[in-house]
Amino acid sequence: MEFAIEAEGLVKTYPKGVRALDGVTFSVERGTVFGLLGPNGAGKSTTVKILTTLTEPDEGRAVVAGHDVVREPLRVRQSIGVVGQKHGIDPEATGIENLKLQGHLYGMPRREVAARAQELLERFGLADAQKRLVRTYSGGMQRKLDVALGLLHRPHVLFLDEPTTGLDPEARADMWNEMEQLAGEEGVSVLLTTHYLEEADRLAAQLAIVDRGRIVAAGTPDALKSELRGDALVVELGASDDGRALAAVATAEGVREPSLDGRILRARADEGARAIPTVLALLEAEGIPVVAATVARPSLDDVYLRHTGRTFGAADAEEEQQ
């Protein structure tokens, strides 16, 4: 078994005619963290639902931990741990009760359940809170218990579906530290879905960018960024543009791919620091006021923009509106 996960041409359409997945193909190497990055509604969660046997694809096939998700769902379930997007924990039960039930559902011997539960409670700093009802836990504690549930039976493949959504920055940083240790210590292969660029950048060794049910780019975060060649220029205009600014910037030497998003003008340049004065001079010549201008190394947001034609934030907001 070379790959922990192999997905091939996954298609899923929901009853109302919403095509959630439109041919998703990727594979995850064993022992690595693979990130699925995309805005809300891109199809990440649907992919996870299919790979974790919660639902079946209309087309395509997937093999997880060496077993076909449609033909051998029970084998797949025994090999995977899932930390879902919604809290899958019972708030009206205590931490330890949640863990014990989970262990019993997997058929782990009682003594092993108790030992493993204590080990994980210690590890996630929940040992003192284990006899409290989960609804008294903070968001960060609930998330940690969620991860502990997913790890309890020592799965080969762990799914983390938006693991830090809704957490405050401190709890998020805390979770990132925990997750960085996962692949190393537990030796599990991890599929992480996220709509935080920073999270994907920091945690994933391999990455696939999902947009509207398709994978638009894949590779290591660094490789994806270096494909872009050069720096990102971002210029904030003082007023909405009537097209003159875009036209003006397009004439600048060494400046590529200019695009406009409201009052934000973006472009790429081999050497950003040199391009900025030229761009500013061109804009001034046109009498277009500039509020701010920045040069940055390419980010995953730029990668996303390049492949989908819209920025990540815009895509996220768009999906939320729908």
Partner 1 sequence: MRLATRQTLSLTVRALLALWRQPWFVAITLVQPMIWLLLFGALFKKVVEIPGFHGGSYLHFLTPGVVVMSALFAAGWNGMGLIDLMNRGIMDRFLVTPVWRGALVGASCIHAAVVILIQTVVIIGVAFAAGTSFSAPTVVVMLVLPVLLGGAVAALSNAMALVTRQEESLIGAVQFVVLPASFLSSGMMASNLLPGWIHDVARFNPVNWTVTAVRSSDWSLIGEHAGLLLALMLVCAWVATRAFRVYQRAV
CB of 55 vs partner 1, minimal distance in Å: 5
* Closer residue to partner 1 (CB): 7 or 300: 7
* Closer residue to partner 1 (CB): 46 or 194: 46
CB of 151 vs partner 1, minimal distance in Å: 13
* Closer residue to partner 1 (CB): 82 or 129: 82
CB of 15 vs partner 1, minimal distance in Å: 7
Distance CA 58, CA 39 (A): 23
Q: Are the beta carbons of 91 and 138 closer than 8 angstroms?
A: no
Point out which residues bind partner 1 (CB under 8 A): 14-15, 49, 52-56, 74, 77-78, 80, 82, 84-93, 97, 100-102, 104-107, 133, 149
Terminal Cα distance for the chain, rounded: 41
CB of 28 vs partner 1, minimal distance in Å: 17
E strand intervals along the chain: 3-13, 19-29, 33-37, 59-64, 67-68, 80-83, 157-161, 189-194, 206-211, 214-219, 231-237, 255-261, 264-269, 290-296
Helix, strand, or coil (residue 10): strand
Query: Cβ neighbours of residue 120 under 8 Å, at least 6 residues apart?
Result: 99, 126, 148, 151, 152
CB of 89 vs partner 1, minimal distance in Å: 7
* Closer residue to partner 1 (CB): 105 or 250: 105
CB of 94 vs partner 1, minimal distance in Å: 9
* Closer residue to partner 1 (CB): 145 or 276: 145
Range 166-175 contact pairs with CB under 8 angstroms and sequence separation of 24 or more: 166/139, 167/139, 167/140, 167/143, 168/139, 168/140, 170/140, 171/138, 171/139, 171/140, 171/143, 172/199, 174/140, 175/140, 175/143, 175/144, 175/147
* Closer residue to partner 1 (CB): 64 or 208: 64
CB of 153 vs partner 1, minimal distance in Å: 8
Q: Are the beta carbons of 190 and 158 closer than 8 angstroms?
A: yes
* Closer residue to partner 1 (CB): 90 or 301: 90
